[in-house]
Structure 1
């Protein structure tokens, strides 16, 4: 038993040494796997060390800012409705879907899906506990959801007043998000979480703001074009439908938000954090 513990301790020490020895690349050289992982772990630990009120407010800000994607989605649908086929309009939303994400990520507000893999890395590296991760996830989700509720209430009132979209548009978008069965929504959310975790990794690998904007646009446009379920944008879409249309029930909302949050977390954790961390561990062993 003691030999096993000593072996695990030595393995962890080797991993920490490899991360410590990862040097910053020159400006014209791509970052190595170890450099990106070290940056992600350090940034993740900094988030754990923040004041809980600061985390909640930053998360709430992200929930509000992601609403600008929803504002443009509704406005585009209303503008193109009757001029193009509905499936063409939903595909065209990929061009405006990334706007809120660019605001959130470059503004460094805390978004659950973008932070999911980042926050699990210190746990995998044995620097933070699972209970601290769950507590932090809870704060981030709470802030994101409250921010989404606030912006949804505002836009449901504001859009028709400004005549940039109507309540029928809100209903159509909410139904488009929730029309699938639970298994489809779950798998879709896992894929979306995978992409968002990859987005966090690629943003860490990039060296300038323009590259980050291109990466954010590229990944989130895939989400928008394919209709993969993102829990925080979807929260605004479905909640807005809930408060403005009898076609969306409270059960529709609860099922959607539970499945999408779980799927996004699972996708970000398994396909990005765990696999990339384990790949580095085996590299360190070799």
Structure 2
């Protein structure tokens, strides 16, 4: 008698698969994403603002590292590696970056473990904190390090004066894909070294290759404005709207959507029977 015949009486999922051929590692990772992400959406407004503000400070310090290395070496690729200090600080400090909130919180809401209202509040307060913390810290950076002001103006102009073209939109889409992939990689392992390596790799891609990241590149623009660049907050608003749209398409429309499709059976189990599913 075949193994298939032995399992005819075994309960199967909606795809006709019995327990022995389900991908338990993928499902365990999905469970961890929901369980780890759920508390983030239940933070108080003050906690969300504080977490977002700290993240803005940390990313600004990454920008400082980028500008310093670029000034010393003339290489954006090396500067991108230096910027990884900001992503590593986010990882170890458990602070909250707006574009890192595309995968985990959305999965939590899709699993019916939080509401859409909580998700919108999470995004809004996290983004506000990122911008406030980044604006203040970039003022401190260009004031304390006058030697990097010209670099701040030049890098800020790259984004503030860019055109709204298919190319720049795709740079924003790719940044959204990369950042959400970083979140996925961090949640896919418990090894801190692997998480740091992932942070360095994505920093190289996003900062070193000048992808359009709504928060990171906003801090370059803020630095350039503080340093006296010939562009202002009107330029920033246009850039920000354009890059957020692309980041959302890449982060939500590509990476997160595919992740939900990849774990659709487990997602349905969460939606039908809320709560832990480790023993399912």
TM tier, smaller: 0.7 to 0.9
**Pair 1:252-2:252 in alignment:** no
- Between the aligned partners of 2:216 and 2:266, the Cα distance in structure 1 is 37
Query: Which of the numbers 32, 35, 53 marks the counterpart of 1:39?
Result: 32
Distance in structure 1 (CA, Å) of the matches to 2:182 and 2:172? 15
Kindly indicate whether residue 50 of structure 2 is the aligned counterpart of residue 50 of structure 1. no
Q: Is the 8 A contact 1:156 1:167 kept in 2?
A: yes
1:173 alignment partner, one of 155, 166, 169: 155
Report what 1:7 is aligned to: none
Q: CA deviation at 1:284?
A: 7.7
Q: Structure 1 residues 80, 119: closer, same or farther in 2, change over 3 A?
A: same
Question: Could you tell me how far 1:197 is from its partner in structure 2?
Answer: 0.8
Unmatched segments (≥5 aa) in structure 1? 1-13, 22-29, 82-88
Shift in alpha-carbon separation, 1:31–1:284, aligned structure 2, 3 A: closer
Is the aligned partner of 1:107 residue 2:93? yes
Match of 1:69? 62
Counterparts in 2 of 1:283 and 1:147: CA distance versus 1, 3 Å:
closer
The answer as to whether partners of 1:196 and 1:219 remain within 8 angstroms in 2 is yes
Q: CA deviation at 1:31?
A: 7.7
Structure 1 CA distance for aligned equivalents of residues 266 and 237 of structure 2: 42
Offset from partner CA, 1:59-78 (integer Å, 9 cap, x none): 10000011111111111222
C-alpha distance after superposition, 1:196-218 (max 9, x if no partner): 11111111111221111111111
TM-score (norm 1): 0.80
Alignment of 1:1-286 (within 5 A): 32-81=25-74, 89-160=75-146, 165-183=147-165, 184-281=167-264
The DSSP-based 3-state class of the residue aligned with 1:66 is helix
Distance in structure 1 (CA, Å) of the matches to 2:248 and 2:172: 9
The farther-off stretch of 275-284 and 233-242 is: 275-284
**2-structure distance, mates of 1:141, 1:210:** 28
CA distance in structure 1 between the aligned counterparts of 2:222 and 2:89, rounded to whole angstroms = 21
The alpha-carbon deviation at position 251 of structure 1 amounts to 1.9
Counterpart secondary structure, 1:207: coil
For this pair of structures, how many residues does the alignment match?
Answer: 249
- TM-score, length-normalised on structure 2? 0.82
Compared with structure 1, are the counterparts of its residues 265 and 32 closer, same or farther at alpha carbon in structure 2 (3 Å cutoff)? same
Q: Deviations over 1:94-142 (max 9, x none)?
A: 2212110001112110111122211111222233332321121001100
Partner of 1:26: none
CA RMSD of aligned residues (A): 2.3
